[in-house]
């Protein structure tokens, strides 16, 4: 009862400051579902060759400019297999709801089309253009390469609702073909990219650029809070238009964006148990909410798995002996002169499979190149511990310690006395 009053007052205050809060749900990742059903190995083998994707690719003119083979999208399917945080948007008038990944590692908005022929689309919400009177045809097609085949679709413009914000004439993609098993099992319908426009495959403004142009946000900033557990409240939040101090503690460390595509920043070094071990002369990292793990160049990750005592399994994943968790080294990322340390309980993911508790390494090898060199990907494993702020006004990323569990409920109690 009291909480309701408090929350109502707070949402009024936040609304007055132009903050939009999008609740995020934490769910089991596709990879974890595949693992639980024991088909991960077959999936890893099969998803390299997808005959159907080639067949459907022929429906589109070969020279379609958006069918570029870009390595970053190839990596994204991998990422989405681990994605865990989703939120809701609505498209069209009247609104049609979709569950999307709010992904700082891509820049497009797409949802399944009602004309889609793939199994993946049958399992998800599909956009019905004919049911919306705000829909505008575009006529162009798009393709996003996911390694297992191209996601193919048509482009349109539509009214988009994210929280209380209404974006007019948002360019988006309706997928008519979605490759591979990962999309079939995914608990999201589509993706809403929050990276810079240069990363977009769909020509036009990415959603946050539209929000800025249409002056829907007071500050050109959005931020993410990700919970540690599925049952926490909130499980996660995307805050559009600013930050929420209740969700983090301590100072914000601002790091300039080094290249505007991904949210890419310079990393100074990576230390294991305090000893500089990787990235000795500095390297590049991206802050990616659409990836759940921490990824890095293969050679470095293999060495890191060794340092934390993780051993490879037949399904290509790395396991750690759960009994040894407390004796494992901590891993520190140095960004903007500040040390960001993860303890073993932060970088190990526990899962119960067949009644047994297994501990999986939160690090994964992924060779993603940029003009500035190989990239490390700081995904949800990192972002759960550190509240992340994305500032398009000053092209910088802010990081602060996220408030969790006990400390978070304390904060609520404190707030409650301030706003009785
Ligand atoms: C879409 O979601 C909103 C908020 O959860 C809900 O109120 C509305 O009924 C949903 N619309 C449809 C068509 O399901």
Q: Which of 288, 300, 380, 391 is catalytic?
A: 288
Rounded to 10 deg, the angle between the 2-16 and 405-418 helix axes is 80
**Residues facing residue 123 across a β-bridge:** none
288 is catalytic: yes
Decide: 183 and 120 in contact? Cβ < 8 Å.
yes
User: Which of 24, 87, 89, 90 has most ligand 1 atoms within 8 Å of CB, for mutation?
Assistant: 90
pTM over 0.75: yes
For residue 5, which phi and psi values (nearest 5 degrees)? -60, -50
Decide: 206 and 228 in contact? Cβ < 8 Å.
no
Tell me the Ramachandran region of residue 412: left when phi exceeds 0, alpha when psi lies from -120 to 50, beta otherwise: alpha
* Atom of ligand 1 lying closest to residue 97 CA: 1
Place of tokens 């990576």: 270
How many angstroms separate the CA atoms of 274 and 309, rounded? 17
Ligand 1 centroid to Cα of residue 88, in Å, is 9
Going along the chain from its start, the domains and CATH numbers come out as: 15-213 (2.40.70.10), 248-414 (2.40.70.10)
User: How do residues 142-190 score in pLDDT, each as one tens digit?
Assistant: 888 776 678 899 999 999 999 999 999 999 999 999 887 778 888 899 9
Nearest CA owner, ligand 1 atom 3: 97
Ligand 1 centroid to Cα of residue 231, in Å, is 22
User: How do residues 64-80 score in pLDDT, each as one tens digit?
Assistant: 433 333 455 656 666 67
407 is catalytic: no
Compute the average pLDDT of residues 228-251.
87
Compute the mean pLDDT over every residue in the chain, rounded to the nearest whole number.
Answer: 83
Tell me the Ramachandran region of residue 119: left when phi exceeds 0, alpha when psi lies from -120 to 50, beta otherwise: alpha
Beta strands in 77-220 (DSSP E): 85-91, 96-103, 109-112, 136-145, 150-162, 165-177, 190-193
* Atom of ligand 1 lying closest to residue 90 CA: 1
Q: What is the CA radius of gyration of the chain?
A: 21
Beta strands in 275-337 (DSSP E): 275-278, 283-287, 294-296, 311-312, 318-320, 331-335
**Residues facing residue 91 across a β-bridge:** 96, 160
Ligand 1 centroid to Cα of residue 160, in Å, is 14
Nearest CA owner, ligand 1 atom 14: 97
24-38, 77-91, 387-401: least confident range: 24-38
Tokens standing for 49?
Answer: 């060759």
Ligand 1 centroid to Cα of residue 404, in Å, is 29
Q: Is the CB of 97 under 6 A from ligand 1?
A: yes
Rounded (5°) CA angle 281-287-293: 95
Which pairing describes strands 331-335 and 263-272: parallel, antiparallel, or unpaired? antiparallel
């Amino acid at each position: 009862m009291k909480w309701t009053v408090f929350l109502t007052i707070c949402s009024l205050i936040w609304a007055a400051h132009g903050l939009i809060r999008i609740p995020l749900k934490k769910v089991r990742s596709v990879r974890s579902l595949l693992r639980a059903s024991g088909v991960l190995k077959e999936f890893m083998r099969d998803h390299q060759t997808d005959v159907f994707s080639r067949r459907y690719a022929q429906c589109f003119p070969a020279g379609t400019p958006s069918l570029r083979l870009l390595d970053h999208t190839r990596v994204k399917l991998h990422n989405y297999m681990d994605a865990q945080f989703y939120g809701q948007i609505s498209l069209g008038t009247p609104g049609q709801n979709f569950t999307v990944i709010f992904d700082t590692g891509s820049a497009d908005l797409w949802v399944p089309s009602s004309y889609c022929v793939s199994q993946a689309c049958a399992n998800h919400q599909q956009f019905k253009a004919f049911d919306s009177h705000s829909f505008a045809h575009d006529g162009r097609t798009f393709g996003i390469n996911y390694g297992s085949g191209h996601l193919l679709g048509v482009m349109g413009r539509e009214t988009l609702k994210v929280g209380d914000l209404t974006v007019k004439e948002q360019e988006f993609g309706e997928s008519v073909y979605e490759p591979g098993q990962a999309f079939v099992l995914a608990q999201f319908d589509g993706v809403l990219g929050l990276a810079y426009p240069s990363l977009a495959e769909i020509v036009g403004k990415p959603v946050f650029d539209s929000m800025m142009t249409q002056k829907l946000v007071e500050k050109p900033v959005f931020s993410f809070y990700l919970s540690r557990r599925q049952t926490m409240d909130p499980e996660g939040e995307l805050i559009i238009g600013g930050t929420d101090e209740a969700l983090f503690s301590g100072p914000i460390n601002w790091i300039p964006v080094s290249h505007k595509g991904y949210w890419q920043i310079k990393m100074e070094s990576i230390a294991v148990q305090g000893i500089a071990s990787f990235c000795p002369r500095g390297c590049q990292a991206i802050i990616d909410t659409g990836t759940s793990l921490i990824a890095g160049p293969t050679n470095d990750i293999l060495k890191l798995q060794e340092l934390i005592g993780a051993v490879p399994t037949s399904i290509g994943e790395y396991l750690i002996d759960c009994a040894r968790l407390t004796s494992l080294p901590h891993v520190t990322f140095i960004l903007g002169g500040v040390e960001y340390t993860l303890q073993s309980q932060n970088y190990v993911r526990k899962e119960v499979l067949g009644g047994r508790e297994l501990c999986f390494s939160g690090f994964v090898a992924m060779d993603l190149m940029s003009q500035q060199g190989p990239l490390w990907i700081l995904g949800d494993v990192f972002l759960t511990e550190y509240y992340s702020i994305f500032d398009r006004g000053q092209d910088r990323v802010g990081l602060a310690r996220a408030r969790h569990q006990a400390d978070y409920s304390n904060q609520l109690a404190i707030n409650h006395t301030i706003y009785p």
